[in-house]
Amino acid sequence: MGATPALREPATPPPGGVAVRARRRRVVPGFGLSLGYTLAWLGLIVLIPLAGVFLHSAQLGWDGLWRIWTEPRVLAALKVSFGTALAAAAFNAVMGTLVAWVFVRYRFRGRRLFDAMIDLPFALPTAVAGIALTALYGPNGWIGRWLEAIGIKVAYTPLGITVALVFIGLPFVVRVVQPVLAEVERELEEAAATLGAGRWQTVRRVVLPAAWPAVLAGFALAFARGVGEYGSVIFIAGNIPQVSEIAPLLITIKLEEFDYAGATAIAVAMLLLSFALLLLINTLQARLVRGERRGGG
């Protein structure tokens, strides 16, 4: 009798077999595990501390919160913090985009050195930056003495706070916009020039539509950093109540007075205002991205 042939596996795998094996071979965790780790880490680092701030301020009740929020000194501090942060972020959105454009489109001697200097505010201690800016723009500083001679006072005013926030916020805009400008297709610019478009028309209709979402992202990052900035601002601000006093300093004063509920109440006001503004900026950015995709399609 002949040998019995060995049983062979079917040539075609059962339905779903490939998918099952593919799932088993994945090295990176799946969606469920990744989402679980993400939510747990986000909760430990962000949500739980923020919840603690809200719970501690709840001891005052709504009337107590409203009383602290409407104090003239608190309102003035919030106005200075948010006003200077918005002004500095808007200035950086324009100048940072221009700096990124120069680094992307031009080659010149010392370019890499200047490109590396953009990141100095990231590495420099903020207190050192504040002392250096005060020495420059103070009444006896190298720049401040000339500005005061023409009636412009920088140090110990909201203008000085804005200068400090411009210094620390510029890298956020440059580093976000720079890679986007590098990816803009130059063929589109050449085509626009061929069709008779001027330089400004090419920038306005070809380059800026592609860069707007990145510019808004850099603006949001610079604004968020500026609102809570303390070290580089505290020296040049002068800390004059209702003139150049920032909200983070007022929170520190409340903590030194052991008024923890009052400090958290001001912190809650800053959180709510910052969240509302950042949500507005992100919504506008998302709409610009969707509009660009529809236009590209």
pLDDT per residue rounded down to tens, the chain (297 residues): 444 444 455 555 555 555 445 455 555 557 777 888 888 888 888 888 888 888 888 888 888 899 999 999 999 999 999 999 999 999 999 999 999 989 988 888 888 898 888 988 888 888 888 899 999 998 888 899 999 889 899 999 999 999 999 999 999 999 999 998 888 766 666 676 676 666 777 777 777 777 888 899 999 999 999 998 998 899 999 888 889 999 999 999 999 999 888 899 999 999 999 999 889 888 887 887 776 666 655
Sign of CA dihedral 137, 143, 145, 147: negative
Torsion of CA 232, 223, 100, 216, to 10 degrees: 180
AA letter at 121: P
**Residue type (1 letter), 36:** G
- pLDDT at 111 (0 to 100): 86
Residue 97: predicted pLDDT: 92
* pLDDT attached to residue 7: 46
Distance from C-alpha of 279 to C-alpha of 288, rounded to nearest angstrom:
14
Between CA 286 and CA 290 the distance in angstroms is: 6
Query: What HEC string does the chain produce?
Result: CCCCCCCCCCCCCCCCHHHHHHHHCCCCCCHHHHHHHHHHHHHHHHHHHHHHHHHHHHHHHHHHHHHHHCCHHHHHHHHHHHHHHHHHHHHHHHHHHHHHHHHHHCCCCCHHHHHHHCCHHHHCCHHHHHHHHHHHHCCCCCCHHHHHHCCCCCCCCHHHHHHHHHHHHHHHHHHHHHHHHHHCCHHHHHHHHHCCCCHHHHHHHHHHHHHHHHHHHHHHHHHHHHHCCCHHHHHHHCCCCCCCCCHHHHHHHHHHCCCHHHHHHHHHHHHHHHHHHHHHHHHHHHHHHHHHHHHHC
Give the pTM: 0.80
Contact 135, 141 (CB under 8 A): yes
Structure tokens at 280: 């507005």
Please give the structure tokens belonging to residue 160. Answer: 């000085």
Distance CA 297, CA 292 (A): 8
Buried b (16+ CB within 10 A) or exposed e, 26-56: eeeeeeeeeeeeeeeeeeeeeeeeeeebeeb
The CA-based diameter of the chain, rounded to the nearest angstrom, is 115
Residues in the chain: 297
**Contacting residues for 134 by C-beta, under 8 A, at least 6 apart:** 141, 155, 160, 235, 236
Q: By CB neighbour count within 10 A (0-12 exposed, 13-18 middle, 19+ buried), where does 214 fall?
A: buried
In degrees, to the nearest 5, what angle opens at C-alpha 219 toward C-alphas 215 and 224? 150
